[in-house]
């Protein structure tokens, strides 16, 4: 027995009294993820477990609010966690191309950098002042004088020996000269040449012996001079060391618990002692002028590059990376142009979002991540190795082998939360082995939740929060009730509420706008209805054109009378921001033949795979119902009339079957009824999608052409729970001007469309005379006989 849907069954009304006044309170942070208990449990587990690889993939369709909800959830959790340490890069005095990474307590990084700046400033002022002091000058003079005496003693002994041998030693800018003397008077070259050969030979022999002594003495003099220089350097080091000890004492006490920082102080201490000349300029301006002539500022190596500063962070950091390029994620080493060349040093190292999120949470869109070269592979490597490495991505490819910095990697301890849809999760899970090892937790956001009293109150609280956050006009109970009904419409079920909060929030914002335009103190149900109507109006130009063409009979569609092999099918057209129903005439023709059921849409390459499957099922139904013992002998054609675009889906398969059976039986179908629903080979009518849009589409056409009171639609009974029809359609149903029939089988639909009894198969396999199925069976038998007769005639003709 076919029944009609009652008015109260075609729309799940939410009454204002169902909205509690307590729901006007704003949602508490931990309750921000509404109706997503499964996702919340997954997030709590993923964020709670510390084992490696338990990072989180949050899957869900756009508009479900997963981005905002996850960020809010993380921020709520993060404030309860400890603040992570600061990270700095400093100069590596042993390996200058490998800057060292220093970890400091949160907030200490900036102070450490400031302390080093003050230390350097004081050192550059204090050290030159020490070298200008009288005390230093006196000690230096004493040191030089001590070694000068030793040097003079060596030279005096040499001169005495030379005089004894008849020579005089003269030290000039070009070297040492050993000059012979006669009676204490040095000989000139001319005088020496005039001497007898025997005398000259004797002088030269004595000179040779003296040369060995001169060489030995000069070697000793050089040693003395080197000792003097070393003594002066040691004096300088002692003087500077005293100053450094005084300047570093307070810093070492301040950072006494940080061994790595203390080791860095020792390295700075030693490097300054090894480079005292840098600090000996009398003024800082002189030091800077001297440094400007060099390729780099030599004092930059004493600076501190704070790449992660958590001084103002409350709890663990939550970093949302909207543009996950390689450099944005992993940092970069910047370069400066200097005299036409690009140079760099550790002060130009810049952190990425991975460093800023270290010790906390990093949120990234997986689609954006995959779109950026090197980012996905780099993230996997960082999570697998638990290290944040700053390098040029081209270095991994081996494209360029230029000499550059290799900063020390920083240990990673964070949770990465990827945001994407279920399809991307499935593809990564099956085709990327690393993915399943690194992202072991899936938190999936559904598109609906149960329409319970508790969830209705959460819905109301969501709108209250939205109003407070965006300064909207608040909603009264009637407005919230309409939004709840809209949520059920979006969800596609009467007992569900949509969690596509982005779309629902847009409707709320528009309703608030209209209330503001009217100067209303609250948003009411009328404002929500107007917002919904205006949203449709802005986008339904195509729908209006189609309806006007139907009204003018440009698109042919009968809503009265009866026709053989013709039925009104229902389809849905999607324009992206709007979906609406469009009634379509479906016709069928039959003839004797072996072609079977021919889908003209498929032949014209307009039919999709699911639609083709639905048509093929019709052949299975006919064989099951009528020709169990012998094959079908017919050639039938099905078509969507005046359809010039692609057709997809199987929701019209029942309408196509009704048209085909009507053509076979020669029994007309009522045109005041439209049909939707898929069919299986057993003749059962199955639920379909877009049921509300399809019903409203046919209702609009009937209203335009004129409601007669007997018009309506046949829908699968399983779709009843999905009905959330417009209020004007509900009113027409209540007044008996429009009807919604719930069918479960093909037979129930045939009885409504034809007014005939379908007929049940009898024990002998036949159908009772006068029933619809009897007519179909007889026609199929007739077609079979025609095909058999044609085959015999052809055989006789060929043999003759």
String of b and e for 120-143 (b: at least 16 CB within 10 Å)? beebbeebbebbeeeebeeebeeb
Q: Do 763 and 702 meet the contact criterion of CB atoms below 8 Å apart?
A: no
Q: Report the alpha-carbon distance of residue 74 to residue 44 in Å, rounded.
A: 10
Annotation says 223 is catalytic: no
Q: Report the alpha-carbon distance of residue 729 to residue 699 in Å, rounded.
A: 7
CA-nearest of 712, 684, 689, 687 to 699 is 712
CA-nearest of 72, 15, 7, 25 to 451 is 15
C-alpha pair distances (Å), 20 with each of 93, 149, 209, 390:
69, 104, 120, 55
Helix H or strand E encompassing 171 = strand 167-172
CA-nearest of 321, 458, 441, 311 to 376 is 321
Coil vs helix vs strand at 538: helix
Q: Is the dihedral of CA 279, 285, 289, 291 positive or negative?
A: positive
Q: Do 112 and 134 meet the contact criterion of CB atoms below 8 Å apart?
A: no
Helix H or strand E encompassing 583 = strand 579-591
Task: Give the pair of three-digit tokens for residue 284.
Answer: 């800082």
Q: Report the alpha-carbon distance of residue 127 to residue 400 in Å, rounded.
A: 43
| 297: Cβ contacts below 8 Å, ≥ 6 apart | 291
Q: Report the alpha-carbon distance of residue 154 to residue 221 in Å, rounded.
A: 7
CA-nearest of 735, 739, 736, 742 to 720 is 742
Number of H helices, E strands in the chain: 27, 31
Q: Do 12 and 494 meet the contact criterion of CB atoms below 8 Å apart?
A: yes
* Neighbouring C-alpha atoms within 13 Å toward the C-beta of 385: 12
Q: Is the dihedral of CA 253, 257, 258, 262 positive or negative?
A: positive
Q: Report the alpha-carbon distance of residue 307 to residue 109 in Å, rounded.
A: 9
How many C-beta atoms surround the C-beta of residue 457 within 10 A? 18
C-alpha pair distances (Å), 268 with each of 96, 132, 275, 349, 473:
13, 23, 10, 20, 63
Task: Give the pair of three-digit tokens for residue 466.
Answer: 């939205």
Q: In the chain, what is the greatest distance between 2 CA atoms, to the nearest angstrom?
A: 166
CA-nearest of 461, 494, 342, 451 to 405 is 342
Tell me how long the chain is.
800
Catalytic residue chosen out of the listed positions 488, 571, 643, 651: 651
The alpha carbon torsion through 338, 342, 348, 353 (nearest 10 deg) reads 140
Task: Give the pair of three-digit tokens for residue 739.
Answer: 């009807």
| 34: Cβ contacts below 8 Å, ≥ 6 apart | 27, 449, 455, 458, 459, 462, 499, 501
Q: Report the alpha-carbon distance of residue 165 to residue 182 in Å, rounded.
A: 11
Annotation says 482 is catalytic: no
CA-nearest of 468, 502, 464, 496 to 480 is 464
Cβ burial of 529 (10 Å; 0-12, 13-18, 19+) is middle
Q: Report the alpha-carbon distance of residue 531 to residue 525 in Å, rounded.
A: 10
Catalytic residue chosen out of the listed positions 66, 301, 694, 737: 694
Q: Do 736 and 23 meet the contact criterion of CB atoms below 8 Å apart?
A: no
Please give the positions annotated as active site.
651, 694
């Amino acid at each position: 027995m076919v029944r009609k849907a009652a008015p109260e069954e075609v729309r799940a009304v939410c009454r204002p009294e169902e909205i509690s006044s307590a729901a006007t309170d704003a949602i508490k942070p931990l309750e921000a993820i509404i109706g997503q208990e499964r996702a919340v449990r997954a997030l709590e587990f993923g964020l709670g477990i510390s084992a490696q690889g338990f990072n989180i993939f949050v899957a869900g369709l756009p508009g479900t609010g997963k981005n905002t909800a996850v960020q809010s959830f993380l921020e709520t959790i993060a404030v309860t966690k400890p603040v992570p340490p600061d990270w700095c890069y400093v100069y590596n005095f042993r390996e200058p191309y490998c800057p060292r990474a220093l970890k400091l307590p949160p907030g200490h990084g900036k102070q450490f950098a400031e302390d080093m700046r003050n230390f350097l400033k004081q050192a550059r002022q204090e050290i030159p002042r020490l070298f200008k002091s009288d005390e230093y000058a006196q000690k230096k003079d004493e040191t030089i004088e001590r070694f000068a005496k030793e040097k003079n003693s060596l030279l005096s002994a040499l001169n005495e020996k030379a005089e004894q041998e008849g020579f005089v030693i003269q030290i000039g800018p070009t070297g040492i000269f050993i000059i012979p003397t006669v009676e204490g008077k040095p000989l000139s070259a001319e005088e020496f040449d005039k001497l007898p050969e025997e005398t000259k030979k004797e002088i030269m022999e004595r000179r040779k012996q003296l040369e060995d002594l001169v060489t030995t003495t000069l070697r000793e003099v050089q040693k003395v001079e080197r000792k003097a220089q070393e003594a002066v350097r040691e004096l300088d080091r002692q003087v500077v060391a005293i100053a450094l000890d005084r300047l570093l004492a307070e810093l070492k006490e301040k950072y006494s618990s940080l061994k790595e920082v203390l080791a860095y102080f020792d390295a700075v201490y030693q490097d300054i002692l090894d480079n005292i000349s840098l600090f000996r300029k009398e003024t800082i301006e002189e030091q800077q002028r001297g440094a400007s002539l060099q390729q780099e500022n030599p004092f930059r190596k004493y600076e501190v590059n704070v790449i992660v500063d958590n001084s103002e962070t409350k709890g663990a950091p939550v970093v949302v990376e909207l543009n996950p390029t390689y450099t944005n994620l992993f940092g970069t080493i910047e370069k400066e142009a200097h005299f036409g060349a690009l140079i760099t040093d550790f002060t130009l190292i810049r952190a990425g979002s991975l460093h800023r999120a270290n010790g906390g949470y990093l949120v990234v869109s997986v689609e954006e991540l995959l779109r950026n070269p090197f980012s996905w592979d780099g993230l996997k490597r960082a999570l697998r190795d638990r290290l944040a490495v700053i390098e040029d991505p081209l270095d991994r490819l081996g494209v360029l082998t230029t000499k550059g910095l290799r900063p020390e990697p920083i240990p990673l301890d964070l949770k990465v939360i990827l945001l994407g849809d279920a399809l991307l999760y499935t593809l990564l899970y099956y085709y990327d082995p690393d993915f399943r090892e690194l992202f072991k937790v899936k938190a999936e956001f559904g598109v609906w939740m149960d329409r319970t009293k508790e969830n209705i109150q959460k819905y109301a609280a969501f709108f209250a929060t939205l109003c407070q956050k965006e300064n909207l006009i608040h909603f009264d109970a009637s407005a919230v009730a309409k939004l709840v009904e809209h949520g059920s419409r979006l969800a596609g079920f009467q007992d569900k509420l949509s969690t596509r909060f982005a779309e629902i929030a847009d409707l709320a914002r528009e309703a608030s706008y209209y209330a503001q335009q009217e100067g209303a103190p609250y948003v009411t149900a009328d404002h929500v209805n107007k917002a919904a109507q205006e949203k449709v109006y802005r986008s339904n130009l195509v729908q209006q054109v189609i309806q006007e063409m139907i009204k003018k009979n440009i698109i042919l569609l009968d809503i009265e009378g009866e026709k053989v092999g013709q039925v009104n099918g229902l389809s849905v057209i999607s324009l992206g921001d709007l979906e609406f129903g469009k009634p379509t005439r479906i016709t069928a023709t039959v003839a004797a033949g072996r072609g079977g059921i021919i889908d003209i849409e498929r032949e014209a390459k307009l039919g999709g795979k699911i639609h083709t499957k639905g048509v093929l099922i019709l052949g299975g139904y006919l064989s099951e119902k009528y020709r169990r013992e012998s094959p079908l002998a017919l050639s039938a054609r099905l078509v969507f009339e005046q359809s010039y675009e692609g057709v997809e889906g199987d929701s019209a398969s029942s309408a196509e079957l009704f048209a085909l059976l009507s053509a076979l039986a020669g029994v007309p179908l009522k045109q005041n009824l439209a049909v939707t629903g898929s069919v299986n080979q057993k003749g059962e009518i199955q639920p379909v999608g877009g049921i509300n849009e399809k019903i409203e589409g046919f209702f609009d056409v009937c209203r335009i052409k004129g409601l007669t009171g007997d018009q309506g639609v046949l829908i699968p009974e399983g779709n009843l729970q999905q009905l959330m029809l417009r209020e004007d359609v509900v009113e027409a149903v209540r007044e008996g001007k429009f009807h919604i029939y719930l069918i479960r089988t093909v037979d129930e639909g045939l009885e409504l469309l034809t007014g005939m009894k379908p007929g049940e198969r009898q024990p002998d396999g036949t159908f009772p005379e006068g029933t619809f199925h009897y007519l179909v069976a007889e026609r199929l038998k007739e077609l079979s006989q025609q095909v058999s007769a044609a085959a015999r005639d052809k055989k006789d003709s060929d043999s003759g």
